[in-house]
Structure 1
Amino acid sequence: MDLEQIRREYLLGGLRRDHLNDNPFIQFKSWLEQAVASGIPDPTALVLATVDADGQPDQRIVLLKHLDDQGFVFYTNYNSKKARDIISNPKVSLHFPWHMMERQVRVNGTASRLSAAESLKYFVSRPRDSQIAAWASQQSQRISSRQFLLEQFQRMKEKFADGKVPLPDFWGGYRVVPHRFEFWQGGGSRLHDRFEYVSTSTGDWDIGRLAP
């Protein structure tokens, strides 16, 4: 396989400053709505990048579950690798790879835990088996086999068979408050369009075009 010969042109459309909203949250919501409407798989999937206490970056895919003017929300096990990384360094990066639309969005910000009340509100909306799975999985820990995981899941199903599944004290949400956005639209001849929004001390956003 000759990887050097795998290429294509990006010709779906350009991006100009007058196409963009002055508010990056409004601009992101517009692109997200278009991604959902387009029918692309998993439009809310994002790559979450963290850095651990030793300076080692790590990445994984999570799902965006809420967005407002305060930031981006996802949920996880608080004992997971990503959560441990955030404890040592709350600065994170989010990447939304909407390849089929020849678009991507990058977000830099700071992550902090949601309140238990906020996490509970989302937890009770999850399918029951997903609630049970949160109890069954010791996320990021080594286990002996998949059979062990399935047995843990069955034990939790039996434990909570007669009532509601409570919110685990080791599970909940994070909100990422951004200080930088980048909106990327593919362009012909690798002349892609890139615009960044950087937060200022006055609470506004400084917007500028970046070279591809």
Structure 2
Amino acid sequence: MVTERTDYTGEGLSEEELGATPWLQASRWVDDALARSREVGDTPEPLAISVATVDAEGHPDVRTVLMRFFDERGPGFVTCLTSTKGRQLTANPAVAAALTWPAMFRAVRFRGTAEALSRDEVTAYFGERPWGSRISAWTSRQSEPVASRAELEAAYERYAERWPDHGKPDDVPVPDFWGGFRIRCDSVEFWGGRRNRLHDRLRFVRVGAGSLADTDAWRVERLQP
């Protein structure tokens, strides 16, 4: 049994402080986390987002990826489309995700539907990746078994030789099995840790069409901790 306990000393989040839209509040907290990562250093990988999917038997799966897209349309990430998450989201687009910053006693939860990123978005982002990461996208068939580390590294070397680094964004073509998803949110919850486990939970719930930045698309409710 684990008995270590920490009393959360966060500032929480009041209705008066809450942004008018989920986009305003989420972008504010993401900016805070990025700044804290640079300036204080106790919030590594502030864009790490846990993504939960459902398999064909209705069992949940969760893993952590990096949030590579974030605008008024919702958070997004890239993946090998034949990976476990890629196949599960293609078959059942129901998705939940969370950004968590323990040092700040803050978290954001997104629930909704996964939509495939456009090929233009994927191509533009792929060209921004370091050359080595682009080679790795070809090397790794995510989630599939591999006999050994040596086999994986040998595949990397073969692709590296095929597409050497010339310092250009199109040195390495985009794999046809590589893409990504954006979450079209139906709810966005903001969690702020407080003392004695009396945390703040404020949730935006979709009530109409619109983006994360459309005030008429959302209502706010407070949840018990």
State the TM bucket, normalised to the shorter chain. over 0.9
2:214 matches 1:205: no
Q: Deviations over 1:85-123 (max 9, x none)?
A: 101210100111111101111100111111211100000
Corresponding residue of 1:104: 107
Corresponding residue of 1:15: 13
2:63 matches 1:60: yes
Contact 2:12 2:191 in 1 (8 A): no
In 2: Cα distance, 1:195 partner to 1:125 partner? 35
Q: Name the stretch that deviates more: 201-210 or 121-130.
A: 201-210
State the SS of the aligned residue for 1:33: helix
State the SS of the aligned residue for 2:7: coil
Pick aligned residue for 1:182 from 183, 189, 195: 189
Contact 2:136 2:156 in 1 (8 A): yes
Corresponding residue of 1:117: 120
Pick aligned residue for 1:86 from 89, 97, 100: 89
In 2: Cα distance, 1:103 partner to 1:12 partner? 8
Corresponding residue of 2:213: none
- Matched pairs, number: 210
2:5 aligned partner, one-letter code = R
In 2: Cα distance, 1:32 partner to 1:162 partner? 33
Please, which runs of 5 or more residues in structure 1 have no aligned partner? Answer: none
Q: Deviations over 1:70-98 (max 9, x none)?
A: 11110000000000110121010011111
1:63 aligned partner, one-letter code = L
Q: What is the CA-CA distance between 1:187 and the residue it aligns to?
A: 1.1
Contact 2:131 2:165 in 1 (8 A): no
1:154 aligned partner, one-letter code = E
2:124 aligned partner, one-letter code = K
Corresponding residue of 2:40: none
In 1: Cα distance, 2:209 partner to 2:44 partner? 38
Contact 1:86 1:111 in 2 (8 A): yes
State the SS of the aligned residue for 1:152: helix
Corresponding residue of 1:42: 45
Q: Name the stretch that deviates more: 157-166 or 80-89.
A: 157-166
In 2: Cα distance, 1:142 partner to 1:192 partner? 42
Deviating beyond 6 angstroms after TM superposition, the runs of 4 or more aligned structure 1 residues are none
Corresponding residue of 1:154: 157
C-alpha RMSD of matched pairs (Å): 1.2
Q: What is the CA-CA distance between 1:10 and the residue it aligns to?
A: 1.0
TM-score normalised according to structure 1 size? 0.96
Give the percent of matched residue pairs that are identical in Structure 1 and Structure 2: 41
Please, which runs of 5 or more residues in structure 2 have no aligned partner? Answer: 38-42, 211-216
Q: What is the CA-CA distance between 1:12 and the residue it aligns to?
A: 2.4
Contact 1:22 1:205 in 2 (8 A): no
Q: What is the CA-CA distance between 1:201 and the residue it aligns to?
A: 2.6
State the SS of the aligned residue for 1:32: helix
Contact 2:10 2:195 in 1 (8 A): no
2:6 aligned partner, one-letter code = R
Contact 2:208 2:218 in 1 (8 A): no
